[in-house]
Structure 1
């Protein structure tokens, strides 16, 4: 294989891992109702599985793991992470109680925390600077699509598990967990056997660059006007993002009396179509900005996308039919994808080469420490305590959208001027 072919093969394999990562991450949300029924727990308890059990650990583990990635053998670390999260997902299918299921989710979180920072770091060494936007967009686009696609695949797996479960004398949700954990145990050794660790190639100005933790802190401090509002916006907007992803299928099932698998498939299909359009539109918009030498427009594009997403969430309580609700969800996912794609491009364009993985890990940290840790349990709590009835989650989406819209938009506008200054210094 040529070097270009090897580079794209590596990206394809990392994308396949991203597919399994998001499937293993969100399968709990799809299976919430049967888990609630078997363990006699609440929606908020399932929110804690997604938030505290996964999101908090995922966010905290990302920073030290990213430091390890900047110094160590990234391919081996990724393979270990994939094997760990896959094994823990499969073991969730035999969890005897809620605490054991929670412990399994902790293992999933630790394993998955390596993938995004490792991928951004590897792409930085596999591609020349002017060729990095496309592979980053492909990987992040895959991740964005799987925010919805996971529910299609998970719904199909759950339907198949329902067929097999009686013969195997096992609950369908448990069999589903085992099934979705197996592919990662194949991908991990495949990565080790077929991908060599690329040489770390850094820009000329980075040849003598200090890459210590103190240097990273100094860089962030020097550009606080960019990083602080930017990371705040990412974290706060992620509350709505992860709430929508985690509870949309449950909302459709409860508000419109749909079977669980059908609700998951419809949500996944609407989100997937919106995600495909977004995966084309947002990278194209970013590439246009780069050609015009106006990279700072990426920040404004992201503000527009997230604004559209949060406005759509605010309107969901007034969706009189499942078709209108699905349309609102689709618009929201299209807007959310701007963050998933453009945030990494924004960070990569301004971060010093030897700090990319750690600064990217801060993106993962803020999004997950605030969004994933807080979002799903908070929205579940609001739906159970501030609202009631089958439309409680729908009303919760509306409340979140109305609060997040002005907050995130203002923060991103503030971050834009600091980002422009950081770009000027990088060039």
Structure 2
């Protein structure tokens, strides 16, 4: 992200009366800003997803179970991400959004770098484990990343007119899957070659450089610039005002329920997919990331953009397409995921996982398009923060722990059934595993793989539930939309 000459173009936008037609700034600079925001969002999910990529070496070194790892990647991050997101979004309604994003990028990047330095140490007579230190770093990552999406969505809405926002927001939403793809491209090979700690430090330092470049090249747009001339633009809306506006938007809450359930499944599966591939198919970390996770993340990225594009193309004939297209995708992904997580052949598994990912992720385009479209300019950032609070606290916060603890339950059931009731699952990790008798080691390897596989299969079936809420959203969507 270098210096872009289009900054000059941003100083001479089209006439304000035409903002709802042309958007803010020159076309080239508008594109640069959108790509800069996408790059930041990719970095956001790269840092966030890296821990799931290196799940096996981290669990082996720290000696933690699937359930504890789910807690580390889920609620440990999501709670603070969700709680801090709303006050940051409120400030983004009146403060400089580019400065907010710059500071937050630097904070989460520094915390990511520190994650690579965690280890057990003692304060007085109290020993603090590496697990606790890593959890604290994840909290800081969550605090920093809370300041990314609400102001970014608000910036996009001011740069792009209503007719183009669906595509622009869908393009930005691609950062979720593109960030996951990048985490695999970079994190897997680097962790395999130099260790998981180096991967965290490398990506963290790079993020601090991105924060500086972002501040120097992205211009703060006037608020509400690209809204229609008749759109209501109150000078300031309180949090209560935002909630009051949303309380009458039934489609917002139905979409939020659908997106939360979809993210519950998606974040959980993404967190444990690498561990599944290593345990079940015996691949290396690099093979799991490059041969499996990268193709599935690429397929998901295409799915996000295609859903937004298709909705925009058919909107005149089917104005509710932005709701029913993702609903179809969520239902259709279930059999493909079941195939992917049950197939004995790893290439069949790859096909199932890629097809499932490509079909399901279209809900992200709907999530942001509906979330931004049903509220006015002054409450967009707050509406996005409320949406993300729900999605991340209940979806991201609960999804990984759900898969992890269900996996732990299946492991315990297997241990009791096969005569290893006294074998703790933590004993099947890292150096502790090597100290066990050969029979116990064999049981650990088989039971670890099967327990996680069963948990992923159960979660895959749950993808059908969010489709119901997206379909219910159709009834009041057109009535609720402010910008059409």
TM-score of the aligned structures, taking structure 1 as reference length: 0.91
State the Cα distance separating 1:73 from its structure 2 match. Answer: 0.6
Structure 1 ranges of 4+ moved more than 4 A: none
Q: 1:132 aligned to 2:165?
A: yes
CA contact (8 A) 1:206 1:354 kept: no
- Pairwise CA RMSD: 1.9
The answer for the alignment partner of 1:48 in structure 2 is: 71
Q: 1:108 aligned to 2:136?
A: no
Structure 2 counterpart of 1:143, from 173, 176, 184: 176
CA contact (8 A) 1:150 1:268 kept: no
Give the 3 Å change call, closer, same or farther, for CA 16–85 of structure 1 in structure 2: same
State the Cα distance separating 1:281 from its structure 2 match. Answer: 2.0
Give the 3 Å change call, closer, same or farther, for CA 35–288 of structure 1 in structure 2: same
Q: Distance in 2 between matches of 1:277 and 1:8?
A: 19
Give the 3 Å change call, closer, same or farther, for CA 60–346 of structure 1 in structure 2: same
The answer for the alignment partner of 1:402 in structure 2 is: 461
Give the 3 Å change call, closer, same or farther, for CA 46–118 of structure 1 in structure 2: same
Q: Distance in 2 between matches of 1:64 and 1:336?
A: 31
Aligned length, in residue pairs:
413
Q: Distance in 2 between matches of 1:60 and 1:261?
A: 35
Q: Distance in 2 between matches of 1:134 and 1:413?
A: 21
Q: Distance in 1 between matches of 2:234 and 2:184?
A: 46
DSSP 3-state at the match of 2:222: coil
The answer for the alignment partner of 1:256 in structure 2 is: 281
TM-score of the aligned structures, taking structure 2 as reference length: 0.81
Unmatched segments (≥5 aa) in structure 1: 162-171
Q: 1:216 aligned to 2:274?
A: no
Give the 3 Å change call, closer, same or farther, for CA 104–271 of structure 1 in structure 2: same
Bigger CA radius of gyration: 2
Deviations 1:278-304 (A, max 9, x none): 144212211113343x33121001111
CA contact (8 A) 1:314 1:400 kept: no
Q: Distance in 1 between matches of 2:401 and 2:65?
A: 10
Structure 2 counterpart of 1:290, from 312, 315, 319: 315
DSSP 3-state at the match of 2:224: coil
Give the 3 Å change call, closer, same or farther, for CA 209–289 of structure 1 in structure 2: farther
State the Cα distance separating 1:347 from its structure 2 match. Answer: 1.8
CA contact (8 A) 2:224 2:233 kept: no
Q: 1:303 aligned to 2:361?
A: no
Give the 3 Å change call, closer, same or farther, for CA 190–426 of structure 1 in structure 2: closer
Structure 1 residues 22-31 or 55-64, which shifts more?
55-64
CA contact (8 A) 1:241 1:336 kept: no
CA contact (8 A) 1:309 1:336 kept: yes
Alignment map for 1:200-349 (pairs within 5 Å): 200-202=223-225, 203=227, 204-208=230-234, 211-223=237-249, 225-292=250-317, 294-349=318-373
Q: Distance in 1 between matches of 2:65 and 2:213?
A: 40
CA contact (8 A) 2:112 2:141 kept: yes
Structure 1 counterpart of 2:473, from 400, 408, 415: 415
Deviations 1:309-348 (A, max 9, x none): 3343344443121112111211221123201222111222
Q: Distance in 2 between matches of 1:378 and 1:208?
A: 42
Deviations 1:142-173 (A, max 9, x none): 32232333222211222342xxxxxxxxxx11
Q: Distance in 1 between matches of 2:360 and 2:243?
A: 29
Give the 3 Å change call, closer, same or farther, for CA 28–345 of structure 1 in structure 2: same
Structure 1 counterpart of 2:102, from 57, 79, 97: 79
Q: Distance in 1 between matches of 2:196 and 2:467?
A: 39
Structure 2 counterpart of 1:393, from 428, 452, 459: 452
Structure 1 residues 178-187 or 330-339, which shifts more?
330-339
Q: Distance in 2 between matches of 1:58 and 1:232?
A: 19
The answer for the alignment partner of 2:18 in structure 1 is: none
CA contact (8 A) 2:102 2:214 kept: yes
Q: Distance in 1 between matches of 2:193 and 2:216?
A: 31
Give the 3 Å change call, closer, same or farther, for CA 371–348 of structure 1 in structure 2: same
Deviations 1:346-393 (A, max 9, x none): 222222221111111222222211111111111011112125521222
Q: Distance in 2 between matches of 1:61 and 1:126?
A: 26
Structure 1 residues 273-282 or 45-54, which shifts more?
273-282
CA contact (8 A) 1:20 1:183 kept: no
Unmatched segments (≥5 aa) in structure 2: 1-5, 10-24, 120-129, 415-446
The answer for the alignment partner of 2:442 in structure 1 is: none
State the Cα distance separating 1:426 from its structure 2 match. Answer: 5.6
Deviations 1:244-286 (A, max 9, x none): 1111111011111111221122222221331343144212211
Q: Distance in 1 between matches of 2:30 and 2:193?
A: 35
Structure 2 counterpart of 1:19, from 42, 45, 59: 42
CA contact (8 A) 2:274 2:285 kept: yes
CA contact (8 A) 1:43 1:380 kept: yes
The answer for the alignment partner of 1:166 in structure 2 is: none
Q: Distance in 1 between matches of 2:396 and 2:70?
A: 9
